[in-house]
Amino acid sequence: MTLLPQETIARKRDGKELSQAEIFAFVAGLTSGTVNDAQAAAFAMAVYFQNMTLDERVALTLAMRDSGRVLDWSDLDGPTIDKHSTGGVGDNVSLMLAPILAACGAYVPMISGRGLGHTGGTLDKFDSIPGYMTNPDIDTLRRVVKRVGCAIISQTDDLAPADRRLYSIRDVTATVEDVSLITASILSKKLAAGLDALILDVKSGSGAFMKTLDDSMGLAESLVSVANGAGLKTGALITDMNQPLASAAGNWLEGKNAIDFLTGSHRDPRLQEVTLALCAHGLVLGGMALDYDDGFIRAKIALDSGAAAEKFFAMANALGSWHDLEKYVPGPVGVVREVHPVSIGRVAHIDVRGVGMAVVVLGGGRTDPSQKIDYHVGFDRLAGIGTKVDPQTPIARIHARDEATAAEAEKRLLAAYTIDEDTPEHPVIYSEISPKGGQ
């Protein structure tokens, strides 16, 4: 007997474990509309306070995956591998990882999102590329992945539609932070993409969704356990977000940083370490490398040989960009100048969320999902922790449309940087979680 939505809500409210059938029925109602917004909100709040068991999380993930189309890549001659990051500032890893994996012979159908709040979105970076289609139909996605090896696009309407509806309700009911719901939301889209393997990048620190290492570990363990329980071979790295990962923050500036990385013009050391580590683990999970060292070597060769750069440019061209992106320079933004600290010392601490909000002030981020953004504003040449600075040595270069927004963003950036003599060390990779959930 299928319970009514209000009965399912009451059982979870009272701390009962829901059966797979109950969860599937409720998610089917989310998709069809027989579960109304008030009921969806009540369900999310009940889960927020009562949590979910591993079995419930797996069931919710599978139900949301099955609420729409599930892609099938069985006609390809290699594994489909993807990566997901929980988000941060200067996190442009996807732009390099997808073409590196493709150059190694994997296929990467990456379904990505846009930024909200202080975090940047992968799709916004690609929207800054003239002509690039971030929302092609599934047939175009299949054609580009098969021909080039990778395609980075937005979630289509027919992939995990239940997640899209539930997330919009969570966003306005203060239930976004629940680990059970985060897990199902992330993984339902990845499972719908028809992947063979997934590597997760769970951030920790002042610019991360999870500020403490314990919270980041908890989310990573949930994601890895549920993904493998749902049949998707998955591992995770817990990485540092106590400073921007790239030396740029802002959509085109991060895109240019990625192009420079792929072509070898400039590679931020911490960004390279995280990118190649994720690639190596992804190749192992996908059965394309014997072990981590083998995967790392394969990824580094793909990068250093220029093969990954060729894949990136081929992907951009296949999805509509007509420019020579290695030489592309967008029109001037109005104000480009250095930001200087008033004190002498080393960068000891960075409020990374503050850096991200400074980009938002410039117009480069959103506080509302429907908000239009300026793709060309932001910061580059961002100084990392430990860098020696003084009033003549800048901590960043600002790109703004006008002096008023530049002044406000500069004020915020300076407030986000602490200059001192003692500088704490933050390893860029804190920990690894294997597909079986053990460290």
Cite the active site residues.
Answer: 82-85, 122, 170, 185, 189-190
Please state, in angstroms and rounded to a whole number, the distance separating the CA atoms of residues 165 and 160: 9
Q: Which two tokens stand for residue 197?
A: 């393997």
Give the residue from 161, 168, 170 showing the smallest Cα distance to 192. 161
Please state, in angstroms and rounded to a whole number, the distance separating the CA atoms of residues 39 and 26: 10
Q: What strands lie across the sheet with 388-389, from one edge to the other?
A: 388-389, 345-350, 417-420
| Residues 323/329/332/333 CA torsion (nearest 10 deg) | 90
Give the residue from 281, 237, 282, 224 showing the smallest Cα distance to 61. 224
Q: Which two tokens stand for residue 219?
A: 């989310």
By three-state DSSP, how is residue 230 classified? coil
Q: What would the 3-class secondary structure string for 377-439 be? A: CEEECCCCCCCEEECCECCEEEEECCHHHHHHHHHHHHHHEEEECCCCCCCCEEEEECCCCCC
By three-state DSSP, how is residue 7 classified? helix
Please state, in angstroms and rounded to a whole number, the distance separating the CA atoms of residues 39 and 13: 12
